[in-house]
Amino acid sequence: MTAPTPLPPVPRTDAVDRLLTSLEHLVRRHRALAADGPDGPDTALHVELVAAEIAHELALTRSDLRRRPHAAAS
* Residue 44's pLDDT band (cuts 50, 70, 90): confident
Burial per residue of 34-67, b for 16 or more beta-carbon CB atoms within 10 angstroms, e otherwise: eeeeeeeeeeeeeeeebeebbeebeeebeebeee
CB 10 within 8 A of CB 73: no
* pTM of the shown model: 0.55
Domain limits, the chain: 10-34+41-66
Degrees, nearest 5: CA angle 37-43-46: 105
Beta pairing partners, 70: 10
- Interval 13-39: pLDDT, tens: 787 888 888 888 887 887 776 666 656
